[in-house]
Amino acid sequence: MKRIALAIALTLPAISQADPVVDDIIDAHILPTFETLAAQSQTLADVAADDCDPTSDALRDAYGTAFDAWVSASHLRFGPTEADDRAFALAFWPDSRGATPRALNVLIADEDPIANTPADYAEVSIAARGFYALEFLLYDSALMTAGDAAYRCTLIQTVTADIATTSQSIIDDWQTSYAETMRNPGPDGFYRHVEEVRQELFKALSTGLQFTSDTRLGRPLGTFERSYPARAEARRSERSSRHVMLSLAALQDLAARMASEDADLADALDASFTRALTQLTDLDDPTFAAVSAPQIRIKVEVIQQSVDTIRAIVGNELGPTLGVAAGFNSLDGD
């Protein structure tokens, strides 16, 4: 009898803390996302090592595939992505003041030897690292031809190798410790309760939606008076609309898993994502280049409103369902 009581006492905490929603999100959403990012980033670095011609189809294809993997991961901004500012090192954007082309131009003009090895390059200005810097090197007509061709080749190879190293560090952290950290909250843990773990995931969903609405769509939309198509994300590689699509698809998957305990809510969320994605497909404007035309602008605004509708469902319905606080002031963030 005593032994049974002891056994129950020992196993209870573990049972009470296990959260199938969290387990599912880690196993089916987070880990595969970062595994793909690490694998595609390594492929990109390997391709660049063989072929550093910025116009090469092989290099640009590898770049597109790896960048896709990042955008699909870009809402998971906690833990391993934030250690050593890794997410910033992969994705320095938005770049409102043009720090990325400025930093790259200086490196190329000086033929700065810091670009000779990925290890040294990790110390360079964060604006010169990652997928957005690489986009300038592969697609910007000025930077594609600036300075010495051999130096630019080295720079492309180093930037891709740096991306691969950073992406590998993220999945390593997830696999060696962070997944277990999230699965096993406890009084001395990084997360003290299951609620804190759910809150982290909820925050990833809601800030991911906000970023897509305010920044991915909001930058080209500009102000009521004026649109700014040149501010669209990754427009040089014609990936602007694709990034909205990829981010919404990733957030749709996360939202579905978070709402899995409430079928009606899951359906409502799914329908709201599908509506936004359908509107985006119908727009058929890869770079939002036509956003200055009133009849196109209104369509982009409608997509943004659809994303904001998802945000409202997430904030007003999913939050309370998960037991996550969402008050008038707690959501304000100022």
**Closest distance to another protein from the beta carbon of 219 (Å):** 6
Instruction: Let me know: does 251 contact 258? Beta carbons within 8 Å.
Output: no
* Identified binder of another protein from the candidate list 109, 142, 150, 325, rule CB under 8 A: 325
Structure tokens at 169: 């560090």
Contact string 69-88 vs another protein (x = CB under 8 A): ---------xx--xx-x--x
Quick check: helix, strand or coil at residue 188? Answer: coil
Considering only the stretches 95-103, 160-168, 258-266, 282-290, report the one whose residues sit in contact with another protein under the rule CB under 8 A: 95-103
Residue 288's region, left for phi above 0, alpha for psi from -120 to 50, else beta, is left
Token duo for residue 105:
């131009």
Residue written as token pair 């007509």: 141
Peptide bond into 94 cis (omega under 30): yes
String of contacts with another protein for each residue 125-164, x by CB under 8 A: -x--------------------------------------
CB 80, min distance to another protein, A: 9
Please report whether residue 334 would count as binding another protein according to CB under 8 A. Answer: yes
Contact at 8 Å (CB) between 73 and 113? no
Q: Which of residues 197-216 bind another protein (CB under 8 A)?
A: 210-211, 214-215
Find how far residue 327's CA is from the centre of its chain.
26
Q: Does 225 bind another protein (CB under 8 A)?
A: no
199 membership: H or E segment, kind and range: helix 194-211
Out of 46, 51, 95, 262, the residue judged to bind another protein by CB under 8 A: 95
301 binds another protein (CB under 8 A): no
Residue from 222, 253, 262, 279 in contact with another protein (CB under 8 A): 222
Min dist CB 233 to another protein, Å, is: 10
Cβ pair 37, 171 in contact under 8 A: yes
201 to each of 79, 107, 187, 245, 313, how far by Cα in Å? Answer: 11, 38, 19, 20, 16
Does the footprint of another protein cover residue 312 (CB under 8 A)?
no
The residues that touch another protein, with contacts defined as CB under 8 A, are 78-79, 82-83, 85, 88, 94-97, 126, 190, 192, 210-211, 214-215, 218-219, 222, 228, 231, 325, 327-330, 332-334
